[in-house]
Every structure is written in C-alpha cells, then in structure tokens.
Amino acid sequence: MKRILHILFLILALLLQACGETAAPTAEVTLAEPTAVASEVVVAATEVAPIIEATAVPVVSVTHVVIPSAGTSDRATAHDNENSLFFDTKKVKTGDEFYKNRFERPFTSIDMNYLPDLDIVNFSITSDENFFYVKISMVGPDAASQSLTGFYGIELDRNADGRAEMLLTTRPPYTTEFSADNVSAYLDINSDVGGNNINRPDTFGDNGFEAVIFDLSKGVYPENDPDFIWVRQTTDSELPAVEIAFARWMFKDGKEAFMWSVLSSDAAINPTMLYYHDHLTAEQAGAANTDDPNYPLKELAAVDNTCRVPLGFQAVGTEPLGCYVKGGEAEEKIDPLADGPNSTCGQFIDLCGRIKNTYQIYSSQ
C-alpha cells in the first residue's frame, strides 16, 4: 500500500512540473516599420460621421412691376387718443376699453414705461391708380435707437359688421423707400374673427386671421402679384410715421367701401390672437387705467389700436368697432359663416381665386 502511494505522489509531481513548463508565453506585439512613399503622407484611416448641412431657406426671386409712389387722392383722416402730455403718470385717461376691443397701451408690462413709437397719433388713407396708402404717425421714435421699432398693421372690414376679413402687418427695420420684403397679409378664410359676439369678449375659440396670403420671406403671394403690399418709413409733418400701400385690384368689382383701423405692437403681431379680448381675460391682460382693479398692464401691454373709419360710404354711427358716435355702437352678435355672400371669400372673390393655390396656414414657428 505504501508503495502504491509513493508511485501516486511521484506521478502528481511530474504532472505539476509539466504544467509549469507549458504555460502560455507573454504575447509580443510587433509593429511593422512604416514604408516611406515619396510625396505621400501616411494617415491612419478614421471613420468620420457624415456632416449634415442645414437646409437653406429658399430665397424666392421676384420681379416687382407695380411699385407704389404716393397717394394722389385724400380719402380719410382720423386722430387717436395719445399720451404724450401725461405719460409720466403711467396711466391713460381715455381710449382703453378691454371689453370693446379698444386698446390704448403704449406702455411696458408692470413697470408702465412709455413707448412713444407705439403711441398712434394720426392715421390717414389716400390712393392712386394702383394702391391705397395708409399712413400711421407716432408720438416719437424709440428713445434708444431714434427710429421706429414697432410692428404696425391695418385691419380691413369690408361689410362693416365688425368682423375684419384682412390683416396687413409690417416688421422693422424700415427704410425711406417702399419695400415688400418686411410686410405680410393675412386672411380670415373661415370668417370667424371675433367669434359669435364680434365686438365683445366671448369663448367661441376662433383662430383669427389664419391664412398667410402674402409674405415674400416664405415665397407666398397672390397669383401673379408679388406687388400686393409695401411699407416705408416717412413723416406726418414733424411726426415719424410708417406708410403701408396695398393693392386696389382686390376691390376689382368697383365696390371700394370698407371700414379700416390701424394698430401697433412692440412684438410681431400674431394674426391668430386677434381679437385680443377673445384670447385673454381682463385679469390676464391687465389695465392701463389706475381706476381699474386689473391695473397695471400685464400680458397685453405695449400695444395700441384705433377705432374703425369708413371709406366709400357714409357711416351711421352704429357700426361695430367704429369711431365714437354718441348713442352709437352696440353689441354685434352674428354666428361665423365660412360660406355665403358675407363670408370673407364671398366679399373678396377675386382675391380668394388668386390665393387658393398659394396661401399657407399661419404658424408661429
């Protein structure tokens, strides 16, 4: 038995020795000598992610044919409430009536700092063979830049029911020459601006002037007319002003009768937010009069608008959103109708025919 155990220990020792002798050697890495090649640089190959270039915004080239110059026939002039004499009180005396869609708010939110290039003084309309010209004058330029820095606009209401069909807007900077590059036009194709209580707040849920019908930066304009709307900076006596020219051909049927008003804002005018009092509560908007419990201005600040003025007909004083006539304006309740003679396209037949394949739905993006 001892002999057997001795033999087993001997075999085990031999096995352990064999394992030690056959252990894997340390691996050696041999680098090949680089081969010199005349006039070549040897570069290690590296995978590089492909570069994705940003898609450029297409630049639409247009040729302008009909360019505005100046109105030759005076059509109407009006004056707005303005605050140049008492702006340091940080309140307005008259002209700001939230429930009637009348806003006199050329002040910043909360702090109520005065903005003279948003405070409308006069607004007038002239015409020549091809264009209407609306001039909007301000109390003064922006204090910092000494220029007009606001966004300005016109609302057109062809059947004088208070529900404007068209909105024309501008954006700074402005030049003294007419330009079509910084203007836009919007149409309320579904005819729901103002909801079903046109000149008072309601909860109808309208989408404002939803259709972009002119904006050269987007390549959008009525068929065959990149000359539809223009703007320039000018003067009204000694007051700084902008002048907006828009084409007369959309009244091609000869019925050049409509109500019109103007507005200003320190930010781009969002066409889907009009009328403002349908999209904000009085508490959200704030107020410009210290007697109002919602004072000071809050979400609806740095804006000004005017009453509506008639062109081509004699107003009787009861027109919704029309300029004040004692015992005049009353609530106007009309359900929106997207079709029919009083719809937007029922009143602008030629225009709608020329935008049906070109307009875009407005997006704030």
Average pLDDT over residues 24-31: 37
- Residue 33 domain flag: no
Question: What integer pLDDT is reported at residue 327 of this predicted model?
Answer: 52
**CA 310, CA 322: separation in Å to the nearest integer?**
8
Mean pLDDT on 335-345? 79
Percent of the chain with pLDDT over 70: 79
**CA 129 – CA 76 distance, rounded (Å):** 17
Look up the domain containing 103 and give its range. 73-83+93-360
The string of pLDDT tens digits covering residues 88-123 is: 999 998 999 999 999 999 999 999 999 999 999 999
> 355 burial class (0-12, 13-18, 19+ CB within 10 angstroms)?
buried
Phi first, then psi: give them for residue 17, nearest 5 degrees.
Answer: -65, -40
CA distances in angstroms from 32 to 37, 40, 41, 166, listed in the order given? 15, 18, 17, 78
Residue 202 belongs to some domain of the structure: yes
Eight-class DSSP state of 270: -
Q: What pLDDT is stored for residue 328 in this prediction?
A: 52
pLDDT of residue 60: 64
Does the pLDDT value for residue 321 go beyond 90?
yes
Q: Is pLDDT larger for residue 274 or for residue 18? A: 274
Residue 260 falls inside a structural domain: yes
Q: 0.75 exceeded by the pTM? A: yes
Q: What residue has token string 């016109």?
A: 154
CA 274 – CA 258 distance, rounded (Å): 19
Give the count of domains, the chain.
Answer: 1
Q: Tell me: the pLDDT tens digits for 185-232?
A: 999 999 999 988 888 998 887 889 999 999 999 999 999 999 999 999
Omega before residue 34 within 30° of 0, cis:
no
pLDDT of residue 16: 45
How far, CA to CA in Å, does 27 sit from each of 23, 48, 318? 12, 32, 100
Q: What is the mean pLDDT of residues 290-312?
A: 96
Binned at pLDDT 50, 70 and 90, residue 335 comes out as low
Whether 154 and 131 have beta carbons less than 8 Å apart is answered as no
In a domain, 32, yes or no: no
- Would 180 be classed as within a structural domain? yes
- Is residue 12 situated within a structural domain? no
Inside any domain, residue 38: no
Residue 21, pLDDT > 50, answer no
Give domain status of residue 332, yes or no: yes
Tell me the pLDDT tens digit for each residue of 151-179: 999 999 999 999 999 999 999 999 999 99
